[in-house]
Chains A and B, each alone.
Chain A
Amino acid sequence: MAENKGILVCGELANGKLASITTELLGCGRKLADDLKEDLSCLLASDAVGGASKEAIAFGADKFYSVEHPTFKEYQADSYMQAVEKLVKEISPRAILIGQTSLGRDLAPRLAFRLGTSLTTDCLDLSIDPATKLLIQKRPVYGGNAQAIFTSELMPQVVTVRTKAMSPLERDDSRKGEVMPTKIDIDTSKVRTKILETVKEEAVGIKLEDAPVIVCGGRGVGGPEPFQTTLKALADLLHGAVGSSRPPADNGWVPEAAHIGLTGKIVAPDIYIAIAVSGASQHTAGCSGSKHIIAINKDPEANIFREAEFGVVGKYEEVVPAFTNKLKELLAG
Chain B
Amino acid sequence: MPVNMIVCCKQVPDPEAPPAVFKVVNNQMTLPPDVKPVIGQYEEFALEAALKIKDTAGGKITALSLGNNFVRDVIKKALAVGGDELILMEDEAFEEGDSWSTANALAMAIKKIGEYDIIFCGRQSSDWDAGQVGLGIAEILGIPAVTLARKVEVTDGKAKVERVIPDGYQVVEVTLPALIIVTSGIGALRYPTLKGIMAAGKKQPVIWKPADIGLEPSQVGAAGRRSKLDKLFQPVKEAKCEIIEGETPAEAGANLAVRLKEAKLL
Interface residues of A (CB under 8 A from B): 74, 77-78, 101-102, 105-106, 108-110, 112-114, 117-122, 136, 140-143, 145-154, 192-202, 238, 246, 249-250, 256-257, 262-263, 265, 270-271, 279-282, 292, 294-296, 300, 303, 305-315, 318-323, 325-327, 329-331
CB-defined contacts of B235 to chain A, threshold 8 Å:
147
Given contacts A146-B24, A303-B19, A315-B249, contact A263 B170 (CB under 8 A): no
Which residues does B use to contact A, with CB under 8 Å? 15-16, 18-20, 22, 24, 29, 98-100, 103, 123-124, 126-132, 134-136, 138-140, 144-148, 150, 160, 164-175, 178, 183-185, 188, 226-235, 237, 239-244, 246, 248-254, 256-261, 263, 265-266
Q: Are A309 and B240 in contact (CB under 8 A)?
A: yes
Please state if B227 and A152 are interface contacts (CB–CB under 8 Å): yes
> What are 22 sample pairs from A and B whose C-beta atoms fall under 8 A apart?
A102-B148, A106-B148, A113-B136, A119-B132, A146-B233, A148-B232, A149-B233, A152-B226, A152-B228, A193-B144, A196-B160, A197-B170, A200-B167, A202-B168, A263-B183, A310-B260, A312-B256, A318-B249, A319-B253, A321-B253, A322-B250, A330-B258
Q: Is the interface of B mostly helix, strand, loop or mixed?
A: mixed
Q: Is the CB of B244 within 8 A of A118?
A: no
* Residues of chain B within 8 A of A321, CB atoms compared: 250, 253
Q: Are B229 and A150 in contact (CB under 8 A)?
A: yes
Question: Are B19's CB and A145's CB within 8 A?
Answer: yes
- Chain A residue nearest in CB terms to B22: A145
Residues of B within 8 A of A280 (CB): 16, 19
Selected from B22, B146, B239, B261, the residue in CB contact (under 8 A) with A306 is: B239
Query: Is there contact, CB below 8 Å, between B253 and A202?
Result: no
Contact B226 A154 (CB under 8 A): yes
Neighbouring B residues of A122 by C-beta, 8 Å: 129-131
Contact B131 A105 (CB under 8 A): yes
Q: Please indicate the chain B residues that have their CB under 8 angstroms from the CB of A249 in the complex.
A: 184
The answer for the CA separation of A141 and B144 in the assembled complex, in Å, is 28
- A145 surroundings in chain B (CB, below 8 A): 19, 22, 234
Whether B167 lies near A331 (C-beta < 8 A) is no
Given the contacts A322-B251, A322-B254, A326-B254, A305 and B231 also touching, CB distance less than 8 Å: no
Interface hub of B150, B227, B248 (most chain A Cβ within 10 A): B227
Quick check: A151 and B230 within 8 Å, CB to CB? yes
Q: Is the CB of A306 within 8 A of B241?
A: yes
CA distance A267 to B265 in the complex (A): 18
Q: Roughly how many angstroms separate A27 CA and B139 CA in the complex, as a whole number?
A: 31
Complex contact A326–B227 (CB within 8 A): no
Measured CA separation A331–B260 after assembly (Å): 11
Task: Report Cα–Cα, A143/B233, bound state, in Å.
Answer: 13
Given contacts A119-B130, A309-B240, 7 further A-B contacts (CB under 8 A): A106-B148, A120-B227, A146-B24, A263-B123, A292-B265, A295-B241, A318-B250
**Cβ contact within 8 Å between B229 and A109:** no
Contact B128 A113 (CB under 8 A): no
Let me know if A106 and B15 touch, CB within 8 A: no
The CA-CA distance from A17 to B119 in the complex, in Å, is: 37
Give Cα A331 to B249, complex, Å: 21
CB within 8 Å for A150 and B184 given contacts A106-B135, A119-B99, A310-B259: no
Complex CA gap A282/B131 in Å reads 14
Kindly list chain B residues whose C-beta atoms are within 8 Å of the C-beta of A146. 22, 24, 29, 232-234
Contact across chains for A194 and B29 when beta carbons are under 8 A apart: no
Query: Judging by beta carbons under 8 Å apart, are A113 and B232 in contact?
Result: no
Interchain CA distance A106-B19 in the complex, whole Å: 29
Contact A150 B131 (CB under 8 A): no
Would you list the 10 A-B pairs with minimal beta carbon distance, nearest first?
A314-B249, A322-B253, A323-B253, A326-B257, A192-B144, A145-B22, A322-B250, A113-B139, A109-B135, A201-B168
CB neighbours of B169 from chain A (8 A): 198-199, 201
Closest to B232 in A: A148
With a CB–CB cut-off of 8 A, which chain A residues contact B230? 136, 149-151
Please judge, given known A-B contacts A105-B131, A294-B260, A311-B244, whether A199 and B226 are in contact too, CB under 8 Å.
no
> B253, A303: Cβ atoms under 8 Å?
no
Docked CA distance A102–B260 (Å): 36
